[in-house]
A and B are shown apart, each in its own frame.
Chain A
Amino acid sequence: MATTRKKTARRKTTAAKRRTVVLVATRKGAWLFHGDAQRKTWKADGPHFLGHVISHMVLDPRDGRTLLAAAKTGHLGPTVFRSTDRGRTWKEAAQPPAFAKAADGKGRSVDHTFWLTPGPASEPDVWYAGSSPQGLFRSADGGITWAPFSTLNDDPQFREWMGTTQDGTPDGPKLHSVIVDPRDARHLYIGMSGGGVHESTDGGQHWKTLIKGLDVVEGFGFDPQQPTFHDPHCIRMCPSNPDRLYQQNHCGIYRLDRPSDTWVRIGKSMPKTVGDIGFPMVVHPRDDNSAWVFPMDGSGVWPRTSPGGRPAAYGTKNGGKTWQRLDAGLPESQAWWTVKRQAMCADNAESVALYFGTTSGELWMGRDGGKRWSCIARHLPEIYAVETAEL
């Protein structure tokens, strides 16, 4: 009995020490929002790097204190800032992600680092980065120095699939969704906007396309077997089941259950008036049947706003067979913002909360898996990325 009481006390102490922090990267700087134990009040820490475009900010879950932020400004080149004290002090990476120098001077240069992924627990100092124009980079020293990773960056076939700056997203094609299998550090997935989904099982030496089952834009005769016509917006691996991936694509919402190599379009069960176009994809930390999306208007000229000016998350609890609209607390009309691909996530609490940041600078929290929404902050710059961590 005494042992049980001690264990309970220890659990309570551990729980009391844990606090959720929401990491917000914006077009004009970065903020950390520290929550209380109940996640009811939030204390803003920022701006960090005021005026810098911060594409992504991630806390290393392996040590709980190292933060990396991908930055650039309107006039200066890109860099990565690094903190080892949870954002109290920052130091610039000694060698930020950069392409190899070409002898003829015609090589590519990184415009901005777009995506940051910490490596698996088995490789405590490894980080991956995806860039625009599209490139894959790796750091083996906790983000201090970066080097081009694998043959992908200069492979003629990949370069063709990547397209030029005229292809892909408006501010440049992006390599994103760098995913490392927690069971095998050599098993990697990447998403390319555009250029499709790719998988490596040998630590990035060779890559296999994973585009079977994915639709392409209709009506132009695009060949769905060509990676260049595929635009995955965001891919997530389920932490509780690394054999299950979800994807929000330019052409729908999909699920992939390995070892199958064929994506299943689970977005067809979304309401027809809303559709299944969007940017973010969020998975539950412990339940591989639960996932969320945030649809946007992909009709006509692609307004990229909430459909009908009525924003809502949609959640599934059965792997995409059915979807539930989650809009309680969100504006009921005339709200024309949307949520970018890195700007929505879930925390790891017992009752999972969702978080998203809008293109109009609002930070929202959805308790009980998005059932009740409340606004954490308004009037921030355009939000590019939202991540959570436990401190």
Chain B
Amino acid sequence: MKVLIPSALRSYTQGSSAEAQGATLAELLADLDRRYEGIRFRMVDEQDHIRRHIRIFVNGTQVRDLAQPLSGKDEVVIVQALSGG
């Protein structure tokens, strides 16, 4: 599925979107990390918490649980929070 990538992470993907697969958000992020090594840890910490300034939306709804099921038609958007002024 298509994943929109924020500017802060485009040094990994070289573009504003990326293709990745997964039946859950956790699987999707793992697949992204396989394709773009290191990208997951910049978004999710070692306790599997989404980092403070990262937001993930699935079909326009914010998701905080990595166990969130996904289907191939979902649109996943990763954004950096509007924080810091």
Binding site for B on A (CB under 8 A): 73-77, 79, 92-94, 96, 98-102, 105-110
Contact = CB atoms under 8 A, between A and B. Distances in A.
B37 A109 contact: no
Contacts of A101: 46-48
Given A75-B81, A109-B46, A98 B53 contact: no
B84 interface: yes
A92 to B, nearest CB: 4
B53 A74 contact: yes
Contacts of A79: 38, 41-42
Contacts of B83: 74-75
A76 B9 contact: yes
A146 to B, nearest CB: 11
Interface string B38-58: 100111111111010110000
Given A75-B54, A107-B46, A98 B80 contact: no
Q: Is the interface of B mostly helix, strand, loop or mixed?
A: loop
19 contacts: A74-B53, A74-B84, A75-B6, A75-B83, A75-B84, A76-B80, A77-B44, A77-B45, A77-B51, A79-B38, A92-B37, A92-B38, A94-B37, A94-B38, A96-B38, A105-B47, A109-B45, A109-B47, A109-B49
Given A75-B51, A98-B46, 17 more contacts: A74-B53, A75-B53, A76-B9, A76-B54, A77-B42, A92-B38, A94-B37, A94-B38, A96-B38, A100-B46, A101-B47, A105-B47, A105-B48, A106-B47, A107-B46, A107-B47, A109-B47
A289 B47 CA distance: 46
A74 B84 CA distance: 8
Given A92-B37, A94-B37, A76 B47 contact: no
Contacts of A74: 53, 83-84
B7 to A, nearest CB: 10
B8 A76 contact: yes
B42 A76 contact: yes
User: Size band of the B side of the interface?
Assistant: 20 to 34
A380 to B, nearest CB: 21
| Interface SS of chain A | loop
A267 B84 CA distance: 40
B74 to A, nearest CB: 23
Contacts of B49: 105, 109
B42 A99 contact: no
Given A77-B41, A77-B51, A98-B41, A110 B8 contact: no
B29 to A, nearest CB: 13
B45 A102 contact: no
Given A94-B37, A94-B38, A76 B51 contact: yes
Which of A77, A94, A101 has the most chain B CB within a 10 Å cutoff? A77
- Interface-centre pick from B45, B51, B54 (highest chain A CB count, 10 A): B45
A122 to B, nearest CB: 30
A74 B80 CA distance: 10
B49 to A, nearest CB: 7
Contacts of B42: 76-77, 79
Contacts of B81: 75
